[in-house]
Amino acid sequence: MDVLRVDKEKCKQDGLCAADCPSGVIYFKPGHYPELKRGGLDICLRCGHCVAVCPHGAMDHAEVALADCPPIDPALALSREQTEQFLRSRRSVRRFKSRAVEKADLEQLIEIARYAPTAANAQMLQWLVISDQNRLKEISARVIEWMRELVQTSGVGLMPYMPNLIKAWDKGFDSILRSAPCLVLAMAPATSSNGMVDLTLALSYLELAAPQFGLGTCWAGLLQSALLSVPALRQDLGIPADYCYHYPLMIGYSAARYYRLPKRKPPQITWWAP
């Protein structure tokens, strides 16, 4: 099978594909066309760098087809100012409209999130989406149950915020999932070389894209803590036993709108330079 396909009419024999290949599996000699090295298929990352870096559209890959790699549109590029505002305007949303999240919106967001980088381009993430309101209430209740036991056995000093969350729950306020209409959970198997980082990047992509759909998100840290402590809860949520990396994200149409970019602490930087 010809994994690399070179359009010899378009190829300028500039060697860009070989120079940019992360695994170094492309052989190139000036005056010749690039080709896959012997044994290169076994270590090819299927990352698409060779297809993406060629300005002439001359390189094709059997598993990263040129036809599926649209050209970058310079007109859509963000300026520095736009980039800063886009990233700084991200907020953790904890007030949601009761409206159910459209399945099409979730599918598109997960489609966007799958382009987040993964270690060795393994792309081993799986997604779990829960939008059943009774199921979400049950999940929150299970977390509260875990918190009650923790406070009773460990004392208030260990988790000083938990008693207030329990009191709020007892008064009818969902202090765990904030009555979010949907929960999205990204997970990776134990065999993933960098699973927690991979899924964190993917969820970050998703949450940055969400406001463009009118959606707000919030990382469900309390639920994550319970999932790490209560194996039965992981099983009940449908997380496979061999998927040890996971993190949930609340998502829904935001009931809040923000008009300012709050300040953050200045970065602490150590420069090593001549």
In the chain, where the domains are located: 4-68, 89-253
pLDDT at 244 over 90: yes
Q: Which of 126, 249, 247, 244 is closest to 193 using CA atoms?
A: 244
> Residue 48 in contact with residue 64, Cβ under 8 Å?
yes
Q: Which fold has domain 89-253?
A: NADH Oxidase (3.40.109)
How does DSSP assign 146-187, residue by residue? HHHHHHHHH-TTTSTTHHHHHHHHHTT--TTTTT-SEEEEEE
Q: Is the predicted pLDDT of residue 225 greater than 70, yes or no?
A: yes
pLDDT at position 2, please?
84
198 touches 125 (CB < 8 A): yes
Residues 6+ apart with CB under 8 A from 180: 96, 136, 218, 250, 251, 252
Q: How far apart are CA 165 and CA 170, in angstroms?
A: 9
**What's the rounded Cα separation, in Å, for the pair 65 and 69?**
7
Which ranges in the chain belong to alpha helices (H)? 16-20, 40-43, 49-53, 80-88, 103-113, 133-154, 162-170, 195-209, 221-229, 231-237
pLDDT in the model for residue 215: 98
What is this structure's pTM? 0.94
Which fold is adopted by the domain 4-68? Alpha-Beta Plaits (3.30.70)
Residue 202 has pLDDT above 70, yes or no: yes
pLDDT tens sequence across 142-192: 999 999 999 988 776 567 889 999 999 999 999 999 999 999 999 999 999
Instruction: Let me know if 23 is exposed, middle or buried by CB neighbors in 10 A (0-12, 13-18, 19+).
Output: middle
Q: What is the pLDDT of residue 158?
A: 63
Whole-angstrom CA distances from 75 to 49, 71, 78, 197 are 22, 12, 9, 31
Cβ(266)–Cβ(105) under 8 Å?
no
